[in-house]
Amino acid sequence: MTTRAQKITFGQLRAQGLHHIEVYCRDYKCSHSVKLPADRWPDHVRLSDIENQFVCTVCGKRGAEVR
């Protein structure tokens, strides 16, 4: 199973030793992705909470998949 269905937080992410997130454009034709450092969000924030804050820099679509 993917981690997408799980409501994991940045605190849990860091507890697993991960310090970056990968953000993917929701448009499958674009599928632009970017790596961001996870330390810019506090521990209580869930990955799913920030997905709608992203706007793709390539196609301009709002919304992303965070892994």
Cα–Cα distance for residue pair 10/18, rounded to 1 Å: 9
Q: Which of 13, 21, 23, 25 binds Zn ion (CB under 5 A)?
A: 25
Question: Which listed range, 1-9, 10-18, 40-48, 51-59, lies at the site for Zn ion (CB under 5 A)?
Answer: 51-59
Site residue total, Zn ion (CB under 5 A): 7
Stated length of the chain? 67
Is 14 a binder of Zn ion (CB under 5 A)? no
* Residue 39 Rama label (left phi>0; alpha psi -120 to 50; beta): alpha
The residues that touch Zn ion, with contacts defined as CB under 5 A, are 25, 27, 30, 32, 56, 58-59
